[in-house]
Amino acid sequence: MSAQQFRAEFDARVEFSNGGHLEVAGFRVDVPAADVSAAEVARLFVASLGLLMSETVDVSALRVFPEAHKGTRGGPSAAADTAGGARRLIELSHQLSHEPGTDLPVPVDSIGTCLDTPWYRHADGADLSTIPLSRIADLPAVVVRTAGSRTRAVDVGALAPFDVAGKAVLLHTGGDHTVGTAADADDAPYLTVDAAQWLADHDAALVGVDSIDIDDVRDPNRPARTILLATGVPIALNLTGLEHLPPHGARFTAAPPPFAWSGMFPVRAFAAILA
């Protein structure tokens, strides 16, 4: 995702042919270019909400600004796919280094990018050697962007627009930019309990996050991790670089070595996108 992307903010009023109208203020959609027309924004607005029988759409207070696409339904990133085209690989792991005088790899941020499997939390769950490759390799990905929002929590509302069944759900919170800081320890983004249950109920294949943990670091019970792992959903933690992925169309891999009786280990996480 090397080309600059843009989104539009606007007010709109829709008149319906069967009566009634809809008004919105400060609505935002992904757009294909900085010089997008008001007519094209109106089309994207109607498509994003799936509005039927819209007769006229008046767009006002239109502002276009550079920002990564969030995956507007019917928008310029919605149909991206790596099938049938040249692919480019995107690094999603933090760098590992060596402790001076040893041969032991040490993550620069004290944890590194790693994978949790169900055995890490549940004794009858799959460990690193038995987790199916279909859960951790070459998965279709959806990227849920909350980076820049004013909340730490990723809740159901951020997830609900996406079809997550069989997919790697990657939470782009911006938490990788606070690695090693006080904010990383105390105010890291996290997945709420309701959101974890929603992902489990909707058959997500894997959940990844660019934060130090999937749970609120202030909650020692780790409820989101417990829910996801109980339903067989592995968790990729401490990812980085999710801003380089499109909302749809990437293929995600986070494969650890197949150690038996182990539930967590560093991984080389990466994604393939259209070149």
Give the residue extent of every domain in the chain: 6-66, 87-274
Is the Cβ–Cβ distance between 186 and 147 less than 8 Å? no
Q: Which CATH superfamily is domain 87-274 in?
A: Putative cyclase (3.50.30.50)
Tokens linked to 109: 């941020």
pLDDT at 98: 60
pLDDT tens, position by position, 223-265: 999 999 999 999 999 999 999 999 999 999 999 999 999 999 9
Residue with tokens 């390799």: 137
Distances in Å between the Cα of 76 and the Cα atoms of 15, 25, 49, 73, 221 are 25, 22, 15, 9, 41
pLDDT at 104: 53
- pLDDT-derived band at 108 (thresholds 50, 70, 90) equals very low
Buried b (16+ CB within 10 A) or exposed e, 59-94: beebebeebbbbbbebbbbbebebeeeeeeebebbb
Farthest-apart Cα atoms in the chain, separation: 76
Overall size of the chain counted in residues = 275
Q: Where are the beta strands (DSSP E) in 155-247?
A: 168-172, 190-191, 206-209, 235-237
pLDDT tens, position by position, 30-84: 999 999 999 999 999 998 898 888 889 999 999 999 998 988 888 888 755 555 5
Look over the chain and give the mean of its residue pLDDT values, rounded to a whole number: 88
- pLDDT-derived band at 103 (thresholds 50, 70, 90) equals low
- pLDDT-derived band at 110 (thresholds 50, 70, 90) equals very low
- pLDDT-derived band at 97 (thresholds 50, 70, 90) equals low
188: DSSP letter:
-
Tokens linked to 16: 């319906």
Is residue 179's pLDDT more than 80? Answer: no
Residue 85 identity: G
Q: How far apart are CA 60 and CA 198, in angstroms?
A: 36
Distances in Å between the Cα of 189 and the Cα atoms of 104, 151, 199, 232 are 29, 8, 17, 23
Pick the more confident residue, 215 or 87: 215
- pLDDT-derived band at 2 (thresholds 50, 70, 90) equals low
Helical segments of the chain, H only: 38-49, 156-159, 182-186, 193-201, 223-230
pLDDT tens, position by position, 4-13: 899 999 999 9
| Stretch 114-123: mean pLDDT | 93
| Stretch 213-217: mean pLDDT | 92
